[in-house]
Amino acid sequence: MVSFSAVAKRYPGGQEALKDVSFSLEAGELAFLTGRSGAGKSTLLKLIPAIERPSAGSVVVNGQNIASLKRAAIPYLRRNIGLVFQDQKLLYDRSVFDNVMLPLAFSAHAPKEAARRARAALDKVGLLGREKANPIQLSGGEQQRVAIARAVVNRPAILVADEPTANLDAESAVRILEIFVAFNQVGVTVLIASHDRALVERYGKRVLRLEDGRIA
């Protein structure tokens, strides 16, 4: 589903975020990506939805090579990848419900079907009762759950989360991870970056450790 081979990423200015990264994630697998801040976790995750392109090596996602992907094809790649960010990236000028509806607008679902899907996604993260609220009224953990609902509403095959629990208390963090595990159980491939090794190791899942631009 996701395959990195000999991937390097250098930023303009010479900073080398990734030196030689190789690993692959099978369909339906859940893996954690750990490492200290600045180890290159975010860079690695950004290569999957083609936010960044590799400087060398190949990244293949869902059978598509990111390095050679045409600009116009990127939106269609991203529709099949659910992205969750540390800072949620919610839109605060609209309700929770409309935030979750956003990805459905450009994949052209009929309005009723779209609304049904958005409610189903909110239900899965336990926020069906808060759909009319503005995200700003929600706690950090709840906002992260809205972001997850938005990420999964298009039923993507892959979920990628960059430090989704970094700003949350332990209880909320566990709840978020439980949601990811639940999606994984229904067949979604999940990759979660986290610097919290203690939390990660509780799940007994595969852990990719990124050190100095390499998988250790």
Q: C-beta of 46: minimal distance to another protein in Å? A: 8
- Which lies closer to another protein via its Cβ, residue 156 or residue 215? 156
Q: Which is nearer to another protein, 111 or 126 (CB)?
A: 111
Residue 115 interacts with another protein (CB under 8 A): yes or no = no
* CB neighbour class for 155 (10 Å; exposed up to 12, middle 13-18, buried from 19): middle
Question: Least distance from C-beta 134 to another protein, angstroms?
Answer: 15
Q: By CB under 8 A, name the one of 8, 60, 102, 120 that touches another protein.
A: 102
Exactly one of 89, 116, 132, 197 binds another protein (CB under 8 A); which one? 89
Binding mask 2-41 for another protein (x = CB under 8 A): ----------------------------------------
DSSP symbol at 126: T
Rounded to an integer, what distance in angstroms lies between the CA atom of residue 80 and that of residue 27?
13
Taking CB under 8 A as the binding criterion, the range among 12-20, 85-93, 172-180, 188-196 that sits at the site for another protein is 85-93
Secondary structure class of 25 (helix, strand, coil): strand
Among 6, 27, 56, 91, binds another protein (CB under 8 A): 91
CB nearer another protein, residue 65 or residue 76: 76
103 binds another protein, rule: CB under 8 A: yes
Alpha helices in the chain, H assignment, sequence order? 41-47, 74-78, 96-106, 111-124, 140-152, 170-185, 197-201
Q: How many residues does the chain have?
A: 216
| From candidates 14, 15, 63, 72, binder to another protein by CB under 8 A | 72
Q: What is the CA radius of gyration of the chain?
A: 17
Select 94 or 197, whichever has its Cβ closest to another protein: 94
Residue 109 CB contacts under 8 Å (≥ 6 apart), including other chains: 117
**Residues 163, 41: Cα–Cα separation, whole Å:** 9
**Separate counts of helices (H) and strands (E) for the chain:** 7, 10
Q: Can you tell me which of 86, 154, 184, 189 binds another protein, judged by CB under 8 A?
A: 154
The CA distance from 177 to 163, in Å, is 11
d(C-alpha 105, C-alpha 114), whole Å: 8
Q: Which residues bind another protein (CB under 8 A)?
A: 49, 51, 72, 75-80, 83, 89, 91, 93, 102-103, 105-111, 150, 154
